[in-house]
Structure 1
Amino acid sequence: MSFALRMPPDVQSVTIGSHQVLLIDDFLEDPQALVEAACDAHFKPCPGADEGKGYPGRRATAPAAYSQSLVSLLEPLIRVNFGIDDTLPLRKTPCMFSLTTFPPERLGPLQRIPHFDSSAPRYMAALLYLCDARHGGTGFYRHRATGLQRITPDTVERYGSTVRAELAARPAPPRYFDAGDDRFEFLGMLPAKFNRLVVYSGALLHTACVNPRLSISGDPRQGRLTVNTFVDF
């Protein structure tokens, strides 16, 4: 099965806080074909989720044909827009379908606050929404105590120790994070939109803004279905 990209892509650049985020609407010519592939996929619990870490749900490998179509656009798009040297090789994780399946009361302490994927300077996330705006979006934040929006190798230890101390003093309530609080300043959200691709630095503090009344489902046709991919240079 082919998962052709709609060409030419309508690339939009959005500044959230002090960092750039890209989005492309109407990304695939036939996004419903990818939904059907998800319905046929074998979803498994995300590693670490039962211990209160990582993605709070289930994942399955997306088709290789989608992965090939994605990389054909993603590599030059990221290099041009984020100023990455052509001599640096691209490394990519598998493309994974994701479904949010944990109710708020099941979330671990670190799943209740914004996170970052990696402090590596050129680690990028590409998220394709196969659900609509009723399922929330992706929120971005600044940690108030440290002033950090983006975590780097030089700041990761300071950030981690500060957050651990904050959680030890006062645990976060069992909820999916969305609006800011006295620890994390809300900078903006990119709403979910069916067939929208979002590309951003994995070092940015962010979270999935989830509608627990609607989005907690293992059914790809009903739940918060996304395709997650990470690339590094």
Structure 2
Amino acid sequence: MLPSLIILDNFLKDPWAARRAALALDYDPAAQHGNFPGRNSTAPLDTVALDSAVSRQLGSGLGAAPGSQHGHCRLTRKGDRGKSGVHIDPASYSGILYLSRPEDCAKPDAGGTDFFRHKRTGLEAVPQDPAQIAASGYADANALIEDVVNKDTLAPARWERVLRVPARFNRLLLFSPWQFHNAAPGFGTTHEDARLVMLLFFAPARS
């Protein structure tokens, strides 16, 4: 089983090159169709080397989850709002590579990634065992997701933050996508000083 959360600092050998490549992508406002705050790039960065490095680190072959935004980058400025809040990811494993400049990550309002407990149920993630799902009072995972995640995603008072992973330049955060999480608030007013991340959505690599 992959770890529920792992932090790898100083992950890339040349993070500034990755940052330049991320900023050179197109963030067309007309191409934004997700529930997230900010703008996603219209194309991904190449993740072949990154996928291999993560697979070696975890001892498990991983690649892009089909139909996901794996390798796309996201710019989120201060005040950007999304259509959803606390959520889970449609992947086997998730990752976020922080590419904001060190001086921007050091600011008090710099947003990393938050993880939550659902107050009514006490859950911090969607259980992966049917017995645990039943013990939570639900017939299956879909019923739980609908009643907990989809129903309460935009109700901050129904969630308790249990962890904030701070943004750090060249930090890779890897985690189980079934954990209830959300991006901390964006920051900055331009492409240069905004929250900049590469999004990673993994699935088992095809043999």
- Note whether the superposition's TM-score is higher than 0.5: yes
Distance in 1, matches of 2:97 and 2:152, equals: 33
- Structure 2 SS opposite 1:192: coil
Summarize deviations over 1:32-83 as a string: whole Å, max 9, x none. 111211232111346434xxx2x2121223432xx111011112333x3xxx
Residues 161, 232 of structure 1: alpha-carbon distance in 2 compared, 3 angstrom cutoff: same
CA contact (8 A) 1:90 1:231 kept: yes
Moved more, 139-148 or 194-203: 139-148
Distance in 1, matches of 2:7 and 2:151, equals: 35
Distance in 2, matches of 1:63 and 1:206, equals: 24
Residues 164, 193 of structure 1: alpha-carbon distance in 2 compared, 3 angstrom cutoff: closer
Distance in 2, matches of 1:165 and 1:42, equals: 33
Percent identity (aligned): 28
Give, as a single letter, the amino acid of the residue that structure 1 aligns with 2:123: L
- Structure 2 SS opposite 1:48: coil
2:80 equivalent to 1:99: no
- Structure 2 SS opposite 1:38: helix
Residues 133, 115 of structure 1: alpha-carbon distance in 2 compared, 3 angstrom cutoff: farther
Report the CA distance between 1:133 and its aligned residue. 4.0
Report the CA distance between 1:161 and its aligned residue. 2.3
Give, as a single letter, the amino acid of the residue that structure 2 aligns with 1:100: T
Summarize deviations over 1:120-139 as a string: whole Å, max 9, x none. 6xx11111001224322111
Aligned position for 2:200? 229
Equivalent residues in 2 for 1:1-233, closer than 5 Å:
20-45=4-29, 47-49=32-34, 53=35, 55-60=36-41, 61-64=43-46, 67-78=47-58, 80=59, 90-92=63-65, 93=68, 94-101=70-77, 103=79, 106-108=81-83, 110=84, 113-118=85-90, 123-131=92-100, 132-134=105-107, 135-152=110-127, 154-162=140-148, 172=155, 182-211=157-186, 215-219=187-191, 221-233=192-204
Report the CA distance between 1:227 and its aligned residue. 0.5
Summarize deviations over 1:184-223 as a string: whole Å, max 9, x none. 1221111000010000011110011115xxx15451x210
CA contact (8 A) 2:77 2:188 kept: yes
Which structure carries more strand by proportion? 1
TM-score, length-scaled by structure 1: 0.66
Q: Which segments of 5 or more consecutive residues in structure 2 lack a partner in the other structure? A: 129-139
Residues 20, 57 of structure 1: alpha-carbon distance in 2 compared, 3 angstrom cutoff: same
- Structure 2 SS opposite 1:77: helix
Aligned length, in residue pairs = 180
Distance in 2, matches of 1:146 and 1:186, equals: 14
CA contact (8 A) 1:116 1:203 kept: yes
Distance in 1, matches of 2:8 and 2:150, equals: 36
How well do the aligned residues superpose, as a CA RMSD in angstroms? Answer: 2.7
Give, as a single letter, the amino acid of the residue that structure 2 aligns with 1:189: R
Give, as a single letter, the amino acid of the residue that structure 1 aligns with 2:93: M
Distance in 2, matches of 1:117 and 1:223, equals: 23
Larger relative contact order (CA 8 Å, sep ≥ 6)? 2
